[in-house]
């Protein structure tokens, strides 16, 4: 078993040696292969015990709901794996309503110190999700599994804290802001993904799979207050969604998805 190393946030330039190797390998390889799946699901009552969900939430027209997204990234253009992700942009269907003002925010002082266990309960935007990828130990590339969790943060943003313990000690914080996209989309979330080093002057960590379920709610008297609400109408063929990914290699990949309309 490899000895754990603490993560280092990377500078925005590769070392000269890495540039030479990367330029040679990327010239002969295609862009990463990306698969995206999404579904509208019920909201967990407690994000720390997500099996129990609120009734009458999920894929119902106009209902409170969470969104579960799963992305896989395949490739061998970057030291035997896919090129590191540098940004993700997710488009939600037109008519989706988000209500961040109803929730607490996790202060930046807590997020930046990575002490997310101290975030207010009502600032938790997701149960623990999962990130899989590859990290470096000298000349070796090894697989890493980390958790990822979303939190409501200042300015209506979502912050994401990823943490891995084995084989590398990884702690990464990033955040994304919302804007409005043209129809058939609505809310648009843009997230810049930081580059991560586990060993100085080694290749960056790279992601091969991401899975997260974003959605939160709480009871105020008899009323359920939800972060996200499903559109009141569903176009023929299902709710449209889209994900755009950019990579360190310079490649950009776009994938569209359709979430089935609720059953009547």
pLDDT tens-digit map of 157-188: 999 999 998 888 889 999 999 999 999 999 99
pLDDT tens-digit map of 76-94: 999 999 999 999 999 999 9
Task: Check residue 46 and report its DSSP letter.
Answer: S
For the chain, the maximum distance between any two Cα atoms, rounded to a whole number of angstroms, is 62
Using CA atoms, how far apart are residues 95 and 234, in angstroms rounded to an integer? 9
pLDDT at residue 236 is higher than 60: yes
The per-residue pLDDT for 138 is 67
- In the chain, how many domains are there? 1
Pick from 180, 8, 197, 200: nearest CA to 97: 180
Contacts of 155 (CB under 8 A, 6+ apart): 177
Range of the domain at 61: 8-259
Q: Is residue 264 part of a domain?
A: no
Q: What is the pTM of this model?
A: 0.86
Q: Is residue 1 part of a domain?
A: no
């Amino acid at each position: 078993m490899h000895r754990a190393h603490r993560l280092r946030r990377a500078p925005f330039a590769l070392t000269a040696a890495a540039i030479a190797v990367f330029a040679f390998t990327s010239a002969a390889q295609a862009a990463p292969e990306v698969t995206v799946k999404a579904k509208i699901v019920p909201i967990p009552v407690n994000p720390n015990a997500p099996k129990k969900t609120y009734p009458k939430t999920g894929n119902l027209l106009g209902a409170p709901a969470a969104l579960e997204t799963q992305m896989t990234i395949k490739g061998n253009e970057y030291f035997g794996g896919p090129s590191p992700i540098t940004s993700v942009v997710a488009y939600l269907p037109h008519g989706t309503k988000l209500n961040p003002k109803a929730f607490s925010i996790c202060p930046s002082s807590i997020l930046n110190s990575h002490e997310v266990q101290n975030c207010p309960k009502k600032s938790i935007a997701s149960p623990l999700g999962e990130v899989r990828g590859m990290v470096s130990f000298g000349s070796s590339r090894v697989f890493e599994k980390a958790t990822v969790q979303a939190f409501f943060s200042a300015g209506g943003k979502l912050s994401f804290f990823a943490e891995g313990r084995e084989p590398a000690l990884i702690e990464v914080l990033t955040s994304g802001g919302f804007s409005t996209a043209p129809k058939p989309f609505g809310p648009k979330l843009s997230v810049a993904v930081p580059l991560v080093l586990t060993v100085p002057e080694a290749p960056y960590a790279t992601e091969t799979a991401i899975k997260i379920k974003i959605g939160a709610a709480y009871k105020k008297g008899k009323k359920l207050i939800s972060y996200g609400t499903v559109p009141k109408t569903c176009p023929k063929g299902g709710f449209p969604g889209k994900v755009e990914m950019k990579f360190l290699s310079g490649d950009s990949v776009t994938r569209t998805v359709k979430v089935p309309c609720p059953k009547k």
